[in-house]
Structure 1
Amino acid sequence: MQENIHNYEDLLEMLDSFLREPTHFWDEFFSDRDKSVPIFVNAPDENLVSYVETGRISAGKVLELGCGPGRNSIYLAEQGFEVDAVDLSKTSLDWAKERADERNLPINFLHQNIFDFTSEQVQYDFIYDSGCFHHIAPHRRMSYIDIIDNSLKDEGYFGITCFLQGGRLGGSDISDWEVYRTGSLMGGLGYTKERLKNVFRSLEAIEIRKMIDIVDSDNLFGASDLLTGLFQKR
Structure 2
Amino acid sequence: MNRTIRTIEDVLALMDRMFAADADRWTGSASTWWDGFYADRSKPVPFFVPGPDESLVSYLERGLLRPGRALDLGCGPGRNAIHLASLGFEVDAVDLSPAAVTWGRERAGEAGAEVRFVCGDAFTSTELRGPYDLVYDSGCLHHLPPHRRVSYRALLERVLAPGGHLAVTCFAAGGMGSEKSDEELYRDGQLHGGLAYTPQELRWLFADYAEVELRPMTQQPQGGPLFGAPFLLSALFRRSPGIS
TM value normalised by structure 2: 0.91
Q: Distance in 2 between matches of 1:32 and 1:3?
A: 43
Partner of 1:150: 158
Partner of 2:192: 186
Give structure 1 stretches of 5+ with no counterpart.
none
Deviations along 1:18-72, one digit per CA (max 9) or x if unpaired, are 3243110011011110111111011100000001111100110000110001010
Structure 1 vs Structure 2: percent identity of aligned residues? 45
Partner of 2:16: 16
Q: For this pair of structures, how many residues does the alignment match?
A: 232
What is the CA RMSD across the aligned residues, in angstroms?
A: 1.6
SS in 1 for 2:108: helix
**Pick aligned residue for 2:201 from 170, 195, 207:** 195
2:42 maps to 1:34: yes
Once the two structures are TM-superposed, the CA of residue 154 in structure 1 deviates from its matched residue by 1.1
Partner of 2:54: 46
Once the two structures are TM-superposed, the CA of residue 218 in structure 1 deviates from its matched residue by 3.3
Q: Distance in 2 between matches of 1:110 and 1:176?
A: 30
2:214 maps to 1:208: yes
Contact 2:130-2:158 within 8 A present in 1 as well: no
Q: Distance in 2 between matches of 1:135 and 1:95?
A: 21
**Pick aligned residue for 2:183 from 166, 177, 193:** 177
Mapping for residues 24-103 of structure 1, pairs under 5 Å: 24-103=32-111
**Pick aligned residue for 1:228 from 221, 225, 234:** 234
Once the two structures are TM-superposed, the CA of residue 117 in structure 1 deviates from its matched residue by 2.7
Q: Distance in 2 between matches of 1:101 and 1:120?
A: 21
Contact 2:122-2:128 within 8 A present in 1 as well: no
Deviations along 1:201-230, one digit per CA (max 9) or x if unpaired, are 121111110000001243100000000000
Aligned pair in 2 of structure 1 residues 3, 130: CA closer, same or farther (>3 Å)? Answer: farther
Deviations along 1:156-214, one digit per CA (max 9) or x if unpaired, are 111010000131xx311111111101111111000011011101112111111000000
Give structure 2 stretches of 5+ with no counterpart.
25-30
After TM superposition, the runs of 4+ consecutive aligned structure 1 residues lying more than 3 A away are 118-121
TM value normalised by structure 1: 0.95
Q: Distance in 1 between matches of 2:174 and 2:178?
A: 6
Partner of 2:28: none
Aligned pair in 2 of structure 1 residues 231, 3: CA closer, same or farther (>3 Å)? Answer: same
